[in-house]
Amino acid sequence: MHGNEPLLSIRDLRVTAEKRDLTLVDGVSLDIHAGERMALVGESGSGKSLTCMSVISLLARGLRVSGGEIAWRGEDISRVSAGRMRQLRGREISMIYQEPLTSLNPVLSIGNQLGEAAKHVSASRADVLSMLDRVGFDRPERVLRQRPHELSGGMRQRVMIAMALLGRPRLLLADEPTTALDVTVQDQVLKLIYDITVETGTALLLVSHDLNVVRRIADTVAVLYTGRIAESGPTERVLSEPRHPYTDALLRSVPSLGVKADRLTAIPGRVPTPNEWTDGCRFASRCGFATATCVDKPPFAEFQGQASACWHTDRLIESKGAR
Ligand SMILES: Nc1ncnc2c1ncn2[C@@H]1O[C@H](COP(=O)(O)OP(=O)(O)OP(=O)(O)O)[C@@H](O)[C@H]1O
Q: Tell me: the pLDDT tens digits for 138-190? A: 999 999 999 999 999 999 999 999 999 999 999 999 999 998 888 889 999 99
Q: From ligand 1's centre to the CA of 3, what distance in Å?
A: 32
Of residues 69, 68, 50, 51, the one with CA closest to residue 60: 50
CA angle 5, 8, 14 (to 5 degrees): 130
ipTM over 0.90: yes
DSSP assignment of 163-216, as one string? Answer: HHHTT--SEEEEESTTTTS-HHHHHHHHHHHHHHHHHHT-EEEEE-S-HHHHHH
pLDDT of residue 306: 97
1 pLDDT band, cuts 50/70/90, is: very low
Residue 285 pLDDT exceeds 70: yes
Ligand 1 lined by 44 (C-beta under 6 Å): yes
Across the range 248-269, mean pLDDT stands at 76
**Residue 154 one-letter amino acid:** G
Ligand 1 center to 24 CA (angstroms):
7
Atom 24, ligand 1: residue with shortest CA distance: 44
Does 294 score more than 80 pLDDT? Answer: yes
Residue 99 pLDDT: 80
Ligand 1 pocket, 280 CB below 6 A? no
Kindly provide the b/e burial profile for residues 269-307, where b requires at least 16 CB atoms within 10 angstroms of the residue's own CB.
eebbebeebeebbbbbebbebbeeebeeebeeeeeeebb
Residue 4 has what pLDDT?
79
CB-based contact 177:97 (threshold 8 Å)? yes
Give 217 Cα–ligand 1 centroid separation in angstroms: 24
Whole-number mean pLDDT of the chain?
93
Ligand 1, atom 9, lies closest to the CA of 50
Residue-wise pLDDT for 269-283, tens only, equals 999 999 999 999 999
| Distance (Å, whole) CA 259 – CA 243 | 18
- Minimum-distance ligand 1 atom for the alpha carbon of 40: 21
Q: How far apart are CA 240 and CA 232, in angstroms?
A: 13
Q: Rounded mean pLDDT of 48-60?
A: 96
**pLDDT surpassing 60 at residue 28:** yes
Point out the ligand 1 atom lying closest to the alpha carbon of residue 59.
Answer: 1
> What percent of the chain is modeled with pLDDT above 70?
96
Residue 42 CA: nearest ligand 1 atom is 21
For the beta carbon of residue 100, count every other beta carbon within 10 angstroms: 23
